Structure 1
Amino acid sequence: MNILVVEDEIKAGNYLCNGLQELGHSVSLARNGLDGLHLALENPFDVIVLDVMMPALDGWEVLRRLRRQTDTPVLFLTARDDVADRIKGLELGADDYLVKPFSFAELVARLRTLNRRGPLREEEFLQVGDLQIDVLRRRVSRDGVRLNLTNKEFALLHLFASHQGQVLSRTLIASRVWDMNFDSDTNVVDVAVRRLRMKVDDPFGSRLIHSVRGIGYRFDLQP
């Protein structure tokens, strides 16, 4: 498995990494929530082990932001053993919850179960007309031509393609792609859509990104 461990406690993080690597797994380690979030969004991990109490960004917020863009299985590994904390973690989208101190063998068993379950398969590959999106490898092509997109452009396109035919407001787009509240005086969404159109639509014979006056945008084969 390709595993991301997000753990700020040095000894615990090293223990997890060394133990999982000895079993043959590939492990990346982040020492705080911000680094963990960045790694999780930039790389295709099979499972994520996430602590709750961390500097920069706590585990609750990391998971909240992750679930806006990915369904990678997440196991909370934390000393917080209150029932309310467990419920909160599961409601935010965690797939499992293990309390410290823990059995390493149990942790491995749970990670293997989550890996077998995996993310939703239908989101691994998206196709709209002649546009193809390989979500896991973050590769996009249209009419057989490979498109080179920035991370934000890919996130924007993935959002559009996941909601084909639906009208998405600028507010929703801003919250999902930039994790920000939309300000009517800010044209960041329109600028990003215009740049994406230059790559996805302009070189080809038909448009997929359509403006909906006064609301936002729609991604569809239909004009």
Structure 2
Amino acid sequence: MKTILIADDDKNIRELIKYPLIETGYDVIEAVNGEQALALAEQQLPDLVVIDIMMPLKDGYEVARTIRAERDIPLIMLTAKGELANKAEGFLAGIDDYMTKPFATAELLFRIKALFRRYDLSHETTVEVGNLVIDRRTYAVTHQQTDIFLPLKEFELLYELASHPGWVYTREDLISRIWGAAYEGNDRTVDVHIKRLREHLGENTAVAIVTMRGLGYKLEVIV
């Protein structure tokens, strides 16, 4: 059973989150300030942390930075501060996702499950999809015993898309995951790399990177 730490000085928010998590099958521990959050993160070793920004003693950014420096676990920032600068600071501190208050508890649960899936996959080094084998240790892509050589960003794009066949990624999603939240270039760079990736894969592989008009991209297995 996975354990989730909720770090928020607002008791009502903690209870709003806690009971649906318990009903879903998670163990829950609570912190009322930043220092307690860090102590519990070290002592209880939670599998995921939900962090508020504005907390006594240490704010959510410092909590996120400290946890991220010590452990590779999912971090969700849940806060009333929805400005772009606050989100950027959160991602730079190492968070994986960001939700603003007020929020739907059901959406938070969906995001938690998605983060657990992503982290579970992140410990795998090889993805097999269609007739491709993608090895993150060696950055090798093999198609029917033949190697396909990809530049780094194209490899990372393929690995991300192939890790979740059928998922639709927006350009913003891919920028954040592949280039990082601090990237300042145009998100059309994703289109350029997708075009090159398609050229590298050619027409004989049993996968296709599909453009979802107005949304982004997804990888499909061709039957």
| TM, length-normalised to structure 1 | 0.52
Matches within 5 A, 1:184-223: none
SS in 1 for 2:49: strand
2:67 aligns with 66
1:53 aligns with 54
SS in 1 for 2:55: coil
Deviation at 1:8, TM superposition (A): 0.5
1:15 aligns with 16
Alignment deviations for residues 159-207 of structure 1 (CA, whole Å, 9 cap, x no partner): xxxxxxxxxxxxxxxxxxxxxxxxxxxxxxxxxxxxxxxxxxxxxxxxx
CA distance in 2, matches of 1:10, 1:44: 22
Matches within 5 A, 1:125-204: none
CA distance in 2, matches of 1:113, 1:43: 22
Amino acid at match of 2:101: K
The share of aligned pairs that are identical, in percent, is 39
Amino acid at match of 2:123: R
2:112 aligns with 111
Deviation at 1:24, TM superposition (A): 1.8
Contact 1:7 1:51 in 2 (8 A): yes
Amino acid at match of 1:99: T
Amino acid at match of 1:62: V
SS in 2 for 1:101: coil
CA distance in 2, matches of 1:68, 1:104: 28
Alignment deviations for residues 140-172 of structure 1 (CA, whole Å, 9 cap, x no partner): xxxxxxxxxxxxxxxxxxxxxxxxxxxxxxxxx
CA distance in 1, matches of 2:92, 2:69: 14
Amino acid at match of 1:31: V
SS in 1 for 2:117: helix
Amino acid at match of 2:84: V
CA distance in 2, matches of 1:72, 1:40: 10
1:121 aligns with 123
Contact 1:41 1:70 in 2 (8 A): no
Unaligned runs of 5+ in 1: 123-223
CA distance in 1, matches of 2:68, 2:48: 13
Q: Indicate yes or no: 2:26 matched with 1:25.
A: yes
Deviation at 1:68, TM superposition (A): 1.5
Alignment deviations for residues 30-84 of structure 1 (CA, whole Å, 9 cap, x no partner): 1111111111122232211000000011001111111211111100000000011
Amino acid at match of 1:20: L
Amino acid at match of 2:50: V
Contact 2:16 2:105 in 1 (8 A): no
Contact 2:61 2:93 in 1 (8 A): yes
SS in 1 for 2:69: coil
Unaligned runs of 5+ in 2: 125-223
Alignment deviations for residues 109-147 of structure 1 (CA, whole Å, 9 cap, x no partner): 00001111227538xxxxxxxxxxxxxxxxxxxxxxxxx
Contact 1:32 1:55 in 2 (8 A): yes
Give the number of equivalent residue pairs. Answer: 122
CA distance in 2, matches of 1:90, 1:96: 8
Contact 2:3 2:47 in 1 (8 A): yes
| TM, length-normalised to structure 2 | 0.52
Contact 1:46 1:118 in 2 (8 A): no
